[in-house]
Amino acid sequence: MKLQFFKYQGTGNDFVIIDNRQDIFPKNNTKLVAQLCDRRFGVGADGLILLENDKMSDFKMVYYNADGGESTMCGNGGRCLVAFAHFLGVIGNETTFVAVDGLHEATIEGDLVNLKMVDVDEIREKPAYAFLDTGSPHHVQLVEELQKFDVHKEGAKLRYGLYGKAGSNINFVEQEGSDAFQVRTYERGVEDETYSCGTGVTAVAIAMHKLGKTNSNTVKITTPGGDLSISFEQNNGHYTNIHLKGPAIQVYKGEIEC
């Protein structure tokens, strides 16, 4: 079978995206997903996303990790899928779509996609870190000299040692200014550091606000793959109207024999 695919990236977080509105993709074939995401033997990506029909919204997002397993929400993936839906003419400059964590709203202007994330009602504060769910589970930990930090080694240690088989994404953070932070993320499912993680930087922004590291409701995050902006509202510890904004760009399209 020849399969048409598109490659998108959002601040270096890259995805194989397939138009599956005709139900052409063998969704239970986890080996195929892993093969397509393999950087040696496939297209190469942090994850694979299917765009599907949905009766209640403009489209449905189905997301797979690079290891082939269907996963929780991916913020950068959602932004890239919005750009893809716009490219296909499925949507205009505004959209509502459904993902594994519920309905999302988004707008697109040029290469910039602004995606509304799920509300956050619980943040677990520990002496050395915070834990919260922004559509995917995230560990947020402040460190010094982030650029020299061994993200793969320390991320894997926490991902398996602290969170077990189910795992968590692990974010290491260094403050740059009153409303600015650098972030490097170890992602479960990829089992390595990625250039960027949308739900991760969202978790960092909210955690830094909750921990009193910033008083701003708009936080700037620098990742190895580029810059993202997170805005939110907060009332009695509840975070709502959370938006993740940044670029989402089509890299190329092609066909692969499966």
Task: Write the pLDDT tens digit of every residue in 38-86.
Answer: 999 999 999 999 999 999 999 999 999 999 988 899 999 999 999 999 9
128 pLDDT higher than 90: yes
d(CA 16, CA 49): 6
d(CA 50, CA 57): 15
Contact 230, 75 (CB under 8 A): no
166 pLDDT higher than 90: no
203 pLDDT higher than 90: yes
Annotated active-site residue 80? The verdict is no
Which segments within the chain are labelled E, that is strand?
2-10, 13-19, 47-52, 59-65, 94-99, 102-109, 112-116, 123-125, 130-133, 137-142, 169-177, 180-187, 192-194, 218-223, 226-235, 238-247, 249-257
d(CA 44, CA 98): 25
Contact 105, 95 (CB under 8 A): yes
Ordered by where they begin, the domains of the chain are 2-114+248-257 (3.10.310.10), 123-244 (3.10.310.10)
Measuring CA to CA, which residue among 135, 143, 144 is closest to residue 169?
135
Record the tokens describing residue 177, joined without a space.
């200014």
165 pLDDT higher than 90: no
**Residue ranges of the binding site:** 13, 65, 75-76, 169, 187-188, 198-199
Residue 239: CB atoms within 10 A of its CB come to 25
Average pLDDT, the chain: 97
Provide CB contacts within 8 A for 48, sequence distance 6+. 15, 16, 17, 18, 33, 36, 37, 63, 64, 66
Annotated active-site residue 197? The verdict is yes
Please report where in the chains the tokens 């601040």 appear, as a residue. Answer: 11
Catalytic residue, chosen from 37, 74, 80, 258, is: 74
> pLDDT band at residue 95, thresholds of 50, 70 and 90?
very high
Task: Specify the pLDDT at position 258.
Answer: 84
Task: Specify the pLDDT at position 191.
Answer: 94
- Select the more confidently predicted residue: 148 or 257: 148
**Residue ranges of the binding site for substrate:** 13, 65, 75-76, 169, 187-188, 198-199
Size (the chain), residues? 258
Please report where in the chains the tokens 């650098």 appear, as a residue. Answer: 182
For 206-238, the pLDDT digits (tens) are 999 999 999 999 999 999 999 999 999 999 989
Segment 109-113 mean pLDDT: 98
Task: Specify the pLDDT at position 1.
Answer: 83
For 140-156, the pLDDT digits (tens) are 999 999 999 999 999 99
Catalytic residue, chosen from 37, 80, 197, 258, is: 197
